[in-house]
Amino acid sequence: MVGSNGNENEEETTDKITSKYRSIKRKKMRKQSRYLSALKVSGAKGTKKFVKTSGSKRLTINSKTGKIKVKKRTKRGTYYIKVKVTSAATANYNAKTSPVKKIKVRVK
C-alpha cells in the first residue's frame, strides 16, 4: 500500500473510535474530582493524543489516557465534551487525526 507521501512502505491507519454515554453520582464528587473512561480507540498505530475541542468548563480530558475528568462540586445536569484523537506517525504508518466525537456525561 502506498502512503500519502508516496512511500510504498507506509500504510494508512484505520482508527475506530467509539464513545459511551457515562453517568456519575454527585455524592461521589463532593470532595474530589472523578475520572471516567468514555472513549475506546482501536486500530490506531503509534502514540495517541486526545484533545478537547469544545464543551463544558466542568469537564477536561487527559491528553495521554483519554479519561474524562469531572471537576468536584459539579452540579447535577447533563454536560457535553467534544474530543479529537490524533495518532502519531511511526516508521510504517502515517499520522492520522480522527473526526470529532461528542460525549455526553450526566451528573445525577
pLDDT digit string, tens, across residues 2-20: 455 555 545 555 667 777 7
- Residues 6 or more apart whose CB falls under 8 angstroms from that of 14 comprise 43
- Which pLDDT band, with edges at 50, 70 and 90, does 41 fall under? confident
Q: Report, as an integer, the average pLDDT of 60-86.
A: 93
Nearest to 40 by CA among 83, 6, 7, 72: 83
Average pLDDT over residues 28-47: 82
The residue range of the domain holding 64 is 16-107
Report the range out of 22-36, 41-55, 68-82, 89-103 with the highest average pLDDT. 68-82
Whole-angstrom Cα distance, residue 41 to residue 49? 11
pLDDT score recorded for residue 91: 84
- Asked if residue 35 belongs to a domain, the reply is yes
**Percentage of the chain surpassing pLDDT 70?**
86
Quick check: is 42 in a domain?
yes
CATH code for the domain in which residue 102 is found: 2.60.40.10
In the structure grid, which three cell numbers stand for residue 45, read together? 498505530
Query: How many domains are there within the chain?
Result: 1
In-domain check, residue 89? yes
Q: What is the mean pLDDT of residues 62-66?
A: 92
3-state secondary structure of 16: strand
Asked whether residue 2 is assigned to any structural domain, the reply reads no
Distances (CA, A) of 90 to 1, 50, 85: 15, 18, 16
Q: Decide if 10 is inside a domain.
A: no
- Examine residue 8 and state whether it is found in any structural domain, yes or no: no
